[in-house]
Structure 1
Amino acid sequence: MDGFAPLLVTFSSPGGHSSTHTIYCKAHSLKKTSEHTPNGRTLFTLGWPPYVTKRCLEEVFSRAGHVSHVILQLRGALMEDTECGDGFKVGYVVMSSKCEVTSALKLCSLSSPLPCTLTSLGLTLWVKHYTSNRPSLDMLESSVAIVMEKHDLRVKAGKEERMKAAAPDEDGWITVTSRGNRRKLSDEPAGKGRKQKKKELVNFYSWQLREGQRTEIAKLRQHFEEDKLRVANMRAARRFKPY
């Protein structure tokens, strides 16, 4: 990597686990200076594994001088100081003087890795992170109990509201809503009752149609007889009467 110097660091834990990583370092310099990462006194490093802490960086670079402070963040984050995260991290190590930054870069020329001690590493550390990020069984049961209690209260309130709406008022009137319970008025199956009503309805309209046809025929006959009488009167009025 252009401008970076490799630094070997071996991370070990009291349980006997160890892991060696290559950390890349260079002097941090920007056109716009910052009070958190001043130019000349800041060392920019990357490649730190997810389980490292600020104490690790201080332990590694304190061999070159006094470490003023450390900013540790996930790679790609915008100056968000954090020790948590599942990805590899970048670190800004601020030394007390420019000479100490030069001394810190000389550590990269060492042939043997620099040791760094961690409280836990490997599977032990992952199990610790897993258990710390998830609630315990007692906490989960408590949360479920609270949710179910709120649900029961909502159901009870809705039931009481429906019963109150179905009760008659002072004048004996009952407000009927679309969500009211529908009761059967007979023991016959619902399908059979609907079919019988439909059949009766069809028969009623057929009878009404026949009665309408009979009435129309009677009116036509009456008009026919009236027209016959009118024609006969007109013919009688048109006869020639010489005397």
Structure 2
Amino acid sequence: MSKIPVYFMPGLAASPSIFERINLDESVFEVFFLEWQIPNPKESLSDYALRISKYIKHPDPVLIGVSFGGILVQEITKHINARKVIIISSVRSNVEFPRRMKIGKRTKAYKLIPMQILLNVEKLAKFSFGEKINKRIQLYEKFLSVRDIYYLQWAVETVIRWDRNKADEKVIHIHGDQDHVFPIKYINSCIVVKGGTHIMILNKYKWLNENLPSIILED
């Protein structure tokens, strides 16, 4: 029996190392990792999705995306056929955006976000914020792979301006009930992970390792 190809797409600016704790049975699944590329000037999300889809070498793969990566894999299916699409800590349409994101789109407040702060993780780490915050900074530094300011500006604006206003009911949505980026009260239909936050790909990996295989395989 041929293995099922599974392609993972990380969240905004993150590297595939966020999936380092995810283990799928190698006798059943063949796992691949997609990576963020620097967008071309004024590149649309659809064109970007087409470009990333060129890295997918198998017909009818399973696509799994986290956060912005979840939005991207949904857009990739406009260009290729997928056996199944699974999103984690993400949204299936802009209707599920929290109010602050909808206001941000209307007022274009996202243009005021100081992207340089996101790029200067090392500078942040020099200050003492307490052990818990410093651990988060170390985690952020480890998993942040794209430090290009144009990419960050493009990514934030692309998420905020995502124009899909109707969910694809075939997309499987896994979401934590403690997600503060996309609060669950705005999510219409999903598989709920109790205690899961926006970074549950890192700290709820046991739940994902136990449940992902059956979610992928079920008809």
Instruction: Work out whether the TM-score is over 0.5.
Output: no
Task: Using structure 2 for the length normalisation, give the TM-score.
Answer: 0.24
Q: Which has the larger radius of gyration?
A: 1
More strand by share: 1
Query: TM-score with structure 1 length normalisation?
Result: 0.23
